[in-house]
Structures are given as C-alpha cells and as structure tokens.
C-alpha cells in the first residue's frame, strides 16, 4: 500500500487552506494549437516562495508540537525546498537552518536568508548533505524536514494534483494525462496519487533532466539507481542522486512512465514560456512542458495537465537563455 493516501492529501489541503496559494490554471490557444489538444498549465511559480515546495514544507511544519517548533527545523536543499521551509518556519514562529550547496543560485540563497533562516553552505560534489543535516538536528534538537522522503511533505505536494483535477473538473474537463517534474520524486508521488484516485484512467508521467535520469532508469530496472557524480545540468532543482526511499515505490505504482529532456530542450521551453505564455519558469520547473514541446509524447486531441513547479531562476542564467546562449 502507498505510504501516502488520498485522505492524507485531503487533510493536507485542509491544513494549507488560507496559507498556500491555490494557483490558477493557464490555458493558451497558441500552445493548444501547437500540441494538438487542450493543455492546462498549473503555475506553481505563483506559489509562496515561488515554488510548490512551500506546500509540503508547511504541511510538515504545521504538524509539529509546540516544543518541536520552539527548537526549530533543519532542511537540506538547493533552493526551492530551502525557501519553502524557511518561509513556513517564519510564518509559524520556528527557527530554521538550511543546508545549501555552494553552487545554489544566489537568488535562492538570498531569499532563504531573507525569510530569516540560517544558511549552512556545503559542496554538493564532495560533502554529504544528509550527514550535515542530521548532525545539526542532533546538536540543536531540531526536526528535519526532508525535501521529499517524508510522508507529510509528499502529502502536501499532492495538493497540487488535487487542485489540478478539481479545477479542470470545474471547467467540465477530464484530464487524459498529467506531466510532473521529477527530482527526488515527492511532487510526482503526491500528484500521481491524487490524480490516480480521482481519475483512475488518466495517465501520469514524470519528467527529469537527461543528465539526472535516475528515476527513469530505476523504473526500468525495478531498483533505485544512482547518478554519475560528474553529471551536470542547468536544472539545479532536480539534481538528486537517486529516487527517494519513500517516493520510489509510490511512483512505481502510480506513474505510467518517465521521460527525460536535455538542457537544450529545457532552455527552449523557458524561452517559449516567456515569449508566448508570458510566464517566467526556472529550468527544473519547466521540464514537463519541455517534454511536450520536444515531442516526447503526443496529446492526440486530448487534455493534458502540466505542472510548472517553480519560477526561481537566476537572473543571469535567464538572460543567457533568452539570448540563445544556452
């Protein structure tokens, strides 16, 4: 059985009511014409802290006891989870320490500090971020808020899928497929759990960077595969070394497949989102749209839901992508 149920996601939605943004749906005639179907974009770029990660962080932190909140929380993240935890902690009056890689986008580090969190920097290629996080938790008595391997976090991310189905139903639409970015797999696990419960015949797909295709390879082999430490991608938000211990079994059951996209395809999707859709989306947040634009799968006249998971793109990188340098 799934470690996270639809009831858990509904409970998370109740906790997040009035705290998280119920992000809208965006439909573009130009995108529909290009892909030959109806595409409903779910822009979590408009979520608090600019990404879906706030949902899972707030669902987790809001369930801590008064004593746990007073001691605070610690998390490890390249940026979006960092900001989500920092903001949730500030809103609930809890201290926060965030372990972030030295190459995290400067804007994400600045925003995390701006939400009042203490930032501890590490080298993602030589240091063990989980060990650093666990040491801080032990030393200070803090609660760890893992970025994806936590049932409360997964349930919080699942509210994206719950809203997506509810909002399309309100429009009289039943989705045929849903595409979600995949890093550690928390968003995909939560969204696919919600979608499959509400729309059992809908197909759900994950999308990840080609250099970080651990989930795609894991789905093929049936075991958790790892990434080459030398791998690099502009998708900083999706650079996890392997699928989560909790998330992978869920995604094995609920995802119909996983696609991968190159950095060039991601860059093209960022340009399309900006010039045609008038949306600013970060590399890791645009991979699902990139898969459709690159023709990885056909909509075939159906209706697709696409999660744009975050919009915290480094301004310098954004300028280079718009200029066609990447």
| Token representation of residue 95 | 């201290």
Which member of 2, 233, 242, 309 is catalytic? 309
Look at strands 143-144 and 96-101 and give their pairing: unpaired
Name the DSSP letter for residue 142: P
Beta bridge pairs of residue 181: 207
SS3 for 67-136 is HHHHHCEEEECCCHHHHHHHHHHHHCCCCEEEEEECCCCHHHHHHHHHCCCEEEEECCCCCCHHHHHHHH
The dihedral of CA 106, 121, 266, 39: what is its sign?
A: negative
Q: In whole angstroms, what is the distance from residue 205 CA to residue 264 CA?
A: 20
Q: Cβ(180)–Cβ(207) under 8 Å?
A: yes
218 catalytic residue (yes or no): no
Residues 6+ apart with CB under 8 A from 290: 207, 261, 265, 266, 268, 269
Q: In whole angstroms, what is the distance from residue 74 CA to residue 136 CA?
A: 7
Which member of 53, 60, 108, 196 is catalytic? 53
53 catalytic residue (yes or no): yes
Query: 3-class DSSP state for residue 320?
Result: helix
Q: In whole angstroms, what is the distance from residue 107 CA to residue 163 CA?
A: 28
Beta bridge pairs of residue 208: 260
Residues taking part in catalysis: 53, 309
């Amino acid at each position: 059985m799934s470690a996270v149920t639809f009831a858990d996601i509904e409970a998370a939605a109740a906790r997040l009511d009035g705290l998280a943004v119920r992000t809208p749906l965006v439909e573009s005639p130009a995108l529909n014409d290009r892909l030959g179907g109806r595409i409903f974009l779910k822009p979590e770029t408009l979520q608090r802290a600019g990404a879906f990660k706030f949902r899972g962080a707030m669902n987790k932190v809001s369930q801590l006891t008064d004593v746990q909140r007073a001691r605070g929380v610690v998390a490890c993240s390249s940026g979006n989870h960092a900001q989500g935890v920092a903001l949730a902690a500030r809103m609930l009056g809890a201290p926060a320490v965030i372990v972030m890689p030295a190459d995290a986008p400067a804007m994400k580090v600045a925003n995390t500090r701006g939400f009042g969190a203490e930032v501890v920097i590490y080298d993602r290629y030589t240091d063990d971020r989980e060990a650093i996080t666990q040491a801080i938790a032990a030393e200070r008595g803090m609660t760890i808020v893992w970025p994806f391997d936590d049932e409360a976090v997964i349930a919080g991310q699942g509210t994206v899928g719950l809203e997506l189905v509810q909002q399309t139903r309100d429009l009289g639409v039943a989705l045929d497929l849903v595409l979600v970015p995949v890093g550690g797999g928390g968003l995909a696990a939560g969204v696919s759990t919600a979608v499959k419960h509400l729309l059992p015949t809908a197909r759900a797909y994950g999308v990840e960077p080609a250099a970080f295709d651990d989930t795609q390879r894991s789905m093929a082999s049936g075991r958790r595969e790892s990434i080459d430490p030398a791998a690099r991608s502009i998708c900083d938000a999706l650079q996890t070394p392997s699928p989560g211990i909790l998330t992978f079994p869920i995604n094995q059951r609920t995802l119909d497949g996983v696609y991968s996209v190159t950095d060039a395809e991601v860059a093209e999707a960022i340009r399309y989102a900006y010039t045609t859709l008038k949306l600013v989306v970060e590399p890791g947040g645009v991979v699902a749209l990139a898969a459709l634009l690159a023709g990885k799968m056909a909509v075939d006249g159906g209706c697709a839901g696409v999660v744009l998971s975050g919009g915290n793109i480094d301004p310098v990188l954004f300028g280079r992508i718009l200029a066609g340098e990447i």
